[in-house]
Amino acid sequence: MATHPLDKDIEELAASARAALVREIEESGALADDPAWKEAFAAVPRHLFVPYYYVAGPGGYERRWGESPDPRVRESWVTGAYEDVPLATRLRDGELLSSSSQPSLMALMLAALRVSEGDRVLEIGAGTGYNAALLSYRLGDERVTTVDLDPEITEAARRHLAAAGYHPAVVTGDGARGVPERAPFDRIIATCQLASVPRAWLAQCRPGARILTPLATGLVVLTVRDAAHAEGNFLQTPAFFVPLRGADRPGSEPVPLGGVPQRARTSDLFRFLLALTRRTLDPQEAYALWEREGGPGRERYGVTVGGEQAWAWLDEPEGPYAWPLP
């Protein structure tokens, strides 16, 4: 990054903003399952991973740039980098291709991963490299692999990581296929939305490994039994991510909701059920189930991968409510 007269002030501002972000993350309860991640968020400078980003405004997207000649823009850039919000980092024809996720959601996901010293972790979706840096700080560069299909994204992630002093393995490839040459893994974490759980991930995990991935506007955490079997529940929190490219994209076309009461139409939990069961249930059937079960929270749902089949379920893997996944 180019040198500016106010660079020292910018670094001081970044340090102050980072400390405030860590306090906000801690107060949100995101680190309750693993407070040790607090040190990583305090140490890794997020602004080095977002040298520019886009903020939506009334006239379209505004670009904030760390090398702007205007000191006010640079100040806005660095303070914005430490807000607890997702940051759009790559657009193409108006479509969001890559982003830096909301830090408190990242913290919650990392805590739910339940890493231990010595674990080898695969991240699906390199993004800016920030999440890989947090993992590298906690586990060491040699135990972290991050993969993305887009060579521009992986090259930028390498630069950002190097600028921050981290050197995990950054691989250009289809995340749905995993990274077999770096296997076996103890943990897999995806930072992009999928329609189902790729079998290749299970095959590259050690027995007892943990997989955390976005699915149907939620986050499911699976425990791997062996190369063909895994099972686990969703976390309570909602999650919305850019779809994984190179694999089947989750359905995004609008679902007609005629006949469904307004309170269900506007319910995040009902829409989660719709997204999870869209291959099996129509909206009226989903609504009847939702009403009958008292509007169940995400934590009552789960996913099982068994051999050639994968299915989502409510309360129990064997039913009575179970729906096939792609």
252 catalytically annotated: no
Q: Pick the catalytic residue from 16, 68, 76, 98.
A: 98
CA distances from 86 to 30, 72, 110, 195, 235 (A): 16, 22, 16, 22, 19
Q: How much of the chain is helix, strand and coil, in % rounded to 5?
A: 35, 25, 35
Expressed in angstroms, the distance from the first to the final Cα of the chain is 44
Under 8 Å between Cβ of 163 and 48:
yes
Residue 115: exposure state from Cβ atoms within 10 A (0-12, 13-18, ≥19): buried
Alpha carbons 188 and 221: distance in angstroms, whole number: 10
**Positions of E strands within the chain:** 52-57, 60-65, 87-92, 95-100, 121-124, 144-148, 169-172, 185-190, 205-215, 218-226, 229-233, 301-306, 309-314, 322-324
Strand 301-306 relative to strand 309-314: parallel, antiparallel, unpaired?
antiparallel
Tokens 């997020």 sit at which residue? 46
Q: What is the dihedral of CA 155, 98, 15, 84, to 10 degrees?
A: -160
Tokens linked to 181? 């040459």
* Residues annotated as catalytic (active site), given as ranges: 98
